[in-house]
Amino acid sequence: MLGRNRSTHFDEGRSSRCEASAFGILVLIVFLAQSTLYGGMTSAHAIPFKKMNGLGNEIVMVDLRGSTRVFTADEARAIAAQSRSHFDQLMVLHDPQTPGTDAYVRIYNTDGSPAGACGNGTRCIAWVVAQQTGRRKIRFETSGGLLEAHVESIDSITVDMGKPRFRWDEIPLAEPFHDTTKIELQIGPIDRPILHSPSVVNVGNPHAIFWVEDVDAYDLVRFGPLLECHPIFPERANISLAQVTSPSSLKVRTWERGAGLTRACGSAACASAVCAARTGRTGRNVTVTLPGGVLHIQWTGEDRILMRGPVEFEYDGMLDPALFTNAPA
């Protein structure tokens, strides 16, 4: 009896251990299968991104160098619709097209439309590439031209935004204006316009700057979309309210083309500073205060616009393969 009992007890224990082992193996198999499936999707299909910001201007960077893939407007909108990858601008790095540059950069707004320049985004990607290469000078090319950045630290990155373009057909405008320091455009009653007579310039993107005494006194969410899509701007425009606070400082708020109200728009800060100097409102070295922080803008004697400011790295992430209509190359 004792032997049988011991044998029975032993068999039950062995059975329990075998069941436990079998269960453990099953769990391991399921885990490995899931890991393989997810890992395969991650390595083969999902695309890494970096979430950053420049003074609150939300930036997502995707490095597609070495790939032939180009995001569609629909894909850019899908990326922006996700909470972790939401952006004001999406900066996508591609293989260089011009010798001596680090990347050709495609820039997308929240609505999927293209942009020719993004000052805050350029500072962000310059910092990343500087970390990768160990170099301080970084050069990019966009549809708007060449951009050179000098990275001192994450708190001080200077971007040469190129030369401002003032001719009406370079901005572009829908009809000729030979004096673009002040064009005929207003919103509100004819005899008592709410906003009127903006300065216009192209700094990689079209910009209109309305000069006001208090940038916070206007409902830019209401007026911004109307002015952005005004027929005078065939490619739409960034709409800024600019307040001169001293001979060397401005306060600016911007409704960004394709993105809406933003905490910071680097090219708008450059546009406002250049137009302020051009109209005699300030000098050529200006501190621009935006809702998200401060940028330092210099319009040099060589007709170059230098923008200096910080960036912030937030986190790394992976873009869900389901967002994309085509398999990545």
The whole-number pLDDT of residue 34 equals 37
Angle at 238 between CA 236 and CA 242, to 5 degrees: 145
The whole-number pLDDT of residue 326 equals 58
The whole-number pLDDT of residue 30 equals 38
124, 265, 270, 275: which one is catalytic?
265
User: Domains plus CATH for the chain?
Assistant: 47-162+313-321 (3.10.310.10), 186-303 (3.10.310.10)
pLDDT by 10s per residue, the chain, length 329: 333 333 333 344 444 444 444 444 443 433 333 333 333 333 447 899 999 999 999 999 999 999 999 999 999 999 999 999 999 999 999 999 999 999 999 999 999 999 989 999 999 999 999 999 999 999 999 998 999 999 999 999 999 999 999 999 999 999 999 999 999 999 999 899 999 999 999 999 999 999 999 999 999 999 999 999 999 999 999 999 999 999 999 999 999 999 999 999 999 999 999 999 999 999 999 999 999 999 999 999 999 999 999 999 999 999 998 888 754 44
118, 124, 270, 275: which one is catalytic?
118
Give dist(CA 158, CA 296) in Å, integer. 9
Give dist(CA 311, CA 126) in Å, integer. 10
Active site annotation includes 118: yes
Angle at 258 between CA 216 and CA 320, to 5 degrees: 120
Give dist(CA 78, CA 326) in Å, integer. 13
The whole-number pLDDT of residue 299 equals 98
Q: What are the start-end ranges of the H helices in the chain?
A: 2-44, 73-81, 119-133, 220-228, 266-278
pTM for the whole thing? Answer: 0.83
Alpha-carbon 165 to chain mean position: 22
Contact 328, 45 (CB under 8 A): yes
Give dist(CA 62, CA 47) in Å, integer. 8
- Burial of 154 per CB tally in 10 Å (0-12, 13-18, 19+): middle
- Burial of 256 per CB tally in 10 Å (0-12, 13-18, 19+): buried
Active site annotation includes 18: no
